[in-house]
Amino acid sequence: MNKESANFETLDPEDWERSKKLMHQMVDDAFDYVANVRERKIWQQMPEEILAGFETSVPKKPSRAEDVYKDLSKQVLPYNMGTIHPRFWPWYMGAGTISGVMGDFWASIMNPNLGGANHAPHKVEEQVINWLKEIMGFPKTASGLLVSGGSMANFTGLAIARNFKSGYDIRKEGLRPDNAGKMVVYASTEIHSCNQKALELLGMGAKSLHKIPVKKDYTIDLEALQIQIKNDKDAGLKPICIIGTSGTVNTGAIDPLNELADICESENLWFHVDGAIGAVALLADNVREQLAGIERADSVALDLHKWLHMPFEAAGVLVKNQEVHKNTFSLIPEYLEKNTRGIASGENWFSEYGLQLSRRFRALKIWMSLKEHGTEKFGRMIARNVEQAKCLGRLVDDSDDLELVAPIGLDIVCFRYNPRGMTMEQLNAINKEIKLQLEEKAIALPGYTTLNGLYCIRVAIANHRCTNEDFDELIAKVLEFGVAIASATRVEQP
């Protein structure tokens, strides 16, 4: 062994067998962590001594990998968000799959960058995009891109809409002063906030998003929309896009997509669908009809780490006009010039269809999960969640002290405890306390929202592990806590 070899440092393990043994232990522990998820607290507050462990200075000296794993086991694993638990219902998140975990593991081992086109990871993402086009009823000529989440998917779709409908080369000239304040995008008042943030970052400003009132079922009011478009055109504004929502975050409402597509065609507007919550429900027999018209969109945002249960991050955007999509993002400097041979060959690099050049191999977990389970099984999981929402709604209706606050959309149930004879402010405070006690006592993690001034418990059922018994327990505890809190509230009244 020469002197250089003896002193050569790398970040590889010094003892491969010892490192392999530790990794095997982690895999065993990880399988137990998922398999026994019901036996652990869904969530718990971190004690002060654990919080203090996150205040230490940056490590300067190496530690044994076994000791690092002990820190993970003590400081992190017991205090997870609870996303994979069957009773995690606050934010709209999937529960993960083991094949997805395996895909993430191998993506990290291979560690490719999705630049270039002549390598297998690029072909995997191409195939996943083609599968998504098939699911959504998009033509084979459409384009697409995997991104981090619904926020970036919507940003990408709206960037394309802005550039295409601006009427000039906006990439070269930027936003013209006489145009910046005139382009208008329409969506319901229930639109997800990420769409407004996208328009702000695209230089159009929050005022460019004209929010249209909703009907009693929380879908966009088409008559109000058409009146607003006419008034805006009369005022010299330039409508460019309508955003339809296939599953609003508050109530799961699905906008009338066919009717929105008709308006976009008649007004020459870009039709974008925020399908982060519900678009993949096309796989479910009991939802598919409600999503009719989504295939007519110019672009659709999809969140695959929601109802397809991919580990974070996994989302996508599909665009019907590939040329328009590419023109929005493509920029090829000399160090990214394409070759006819070798790794830098290939026509369509994904870096030409989005903001990022360096991109994680997130397609692999999607590819593996879809191969293992198939779309029909995913569709059955989605359909079951929808039926579970209806079941929960019946439990609410069967109780004299509970009431639905909104129609059940897809798999989202908004309800509240209401024993009657109390003010709205008191009921809001009671329901907020019920929600917090469910959380702090690790019984369940429902969400919350406020609809027409009414604070309500919001249950978003996007989990392949929950059963009807989970909802029986939820209702029993809501009533138990509600009675106690309401009694205390009445005693405190002057």
pLDDT in tens, the chain (494 residues): 566 666 788 889 989 999 999 999 999 999 999 999 999 899 999 999 999 999 999 999 999 999 999 999 999 999 998 899 999 999 888 888 999 999 999 999 988 887 667 788 889 999 999 999 999 999 999 999 999 999 999 999 999 999 999 989 999 999 887 777 799 999 999 999 999 999 999 999 999 999 999 999 999 999 999 999 999 999 999 999 999 999 999 999 999 999 999 999 999 999 999 999 999 999 999 999 999 999 999 999 999 999 999 998 999 999 999 999 999 998 876 677 776 677 777 777 888 899 888 888 999 999 999 999 999 999 999 999 999 999 999 999 999 999 999 999 999 999 999 998 899 999 999 999 999 999 999 999 999 999 999 999 999 999 999 999 999 999 999 999 999 999 888 766 65
Residue 365 lies in a domain: yes
Residues 283 and 381 in one domain: no
Q: Residues 227-240, buried b or exposed e (16+ Cβ, 10 A)?
A: ebbeebeeeebebb
Residues 360 and 227 in one domain: yes
Among 373, 400, 431, the domain-final residue is: 373
Return d(Cα 128, Cα 365) in angstroms, integer: 10
Residues 356 and 398 in one domain: no
Return d(Cα 28, Cα 147) in angstroms, integer: 30
pLDDT for position 351: 86
Query: Whole-model pTM?
Result: 0.93
Among 351, 373, 395, the domain-final residue is: 373
Residues 213 and 325 in one domain: yes
Residue 47 lies in a domain: no
Backbone angles phi, psi at 454, to 5 degrees: -100, 120
pLDDT for position 489: 82
Residues 251 and 349 in one domain: yes
Residue 222 lies in a domain: yes
Residue 12 lies in a domain: no
Domain count, the chain: 2
pLDDT for position 103: 93
Instruction: Residue 253: give the domain boundaries.
Output: 100-373
Residue 44 lies in a domain: no
Return d(Cα 177, Cα 117) in angstroms, integer: 39
| Nearest in space to 90 (alpha carbons), one of 416, 444, 365 | 444
For residue 364, what is the domain's CATH number?
3.40.640.10
Among 373, 393, 426, the domain-final residue is: 373
| Nearest in space to 162 (alpha carbons), one of 241, 264, 255, 222 | 241
For residue 449, what is the domain's CATH number?
3.90.1150.170
DSSP designation for 294: G
pLDDT for position 392: 97
Structure-token match 């560690």, residue found: 111
| Nearest in space to 329 (alpha carbons), one of 299, 357, 301, 298 | 357
Return d(Cα 92, Cα 459) in angstroms, integer: 9
pLDDT for position 359: 87
| Nearest in space to 81 (alpha carbons), one of 44, 56, 40 | 44
Residues 476 and 355 in one domain: no
Residues 334 and 462 in one domain: no
pLDDT for position 230: 97
Return d(Cα 232, Cα 238) in angstroms, integer: 7
For residue 451, what are the CA distances in angstroms to 414, 418, 448?
A: 9, 15, 10
Residues 426 and 440 in one domain: yes
* DSSP strands (E only) in 401-481: 402-404, 412-417, 445-451, 454-460
Residues 400 and 324 in one domain: no
Residues 254 and 386 in one domain: no
Residues 321 and 454 in one domain: no
pLDDT for position 112: 82
Residues 278 and 199 in one domain: yes
pLDDT for position 76: 93
Residue 167 three-state SS = coil
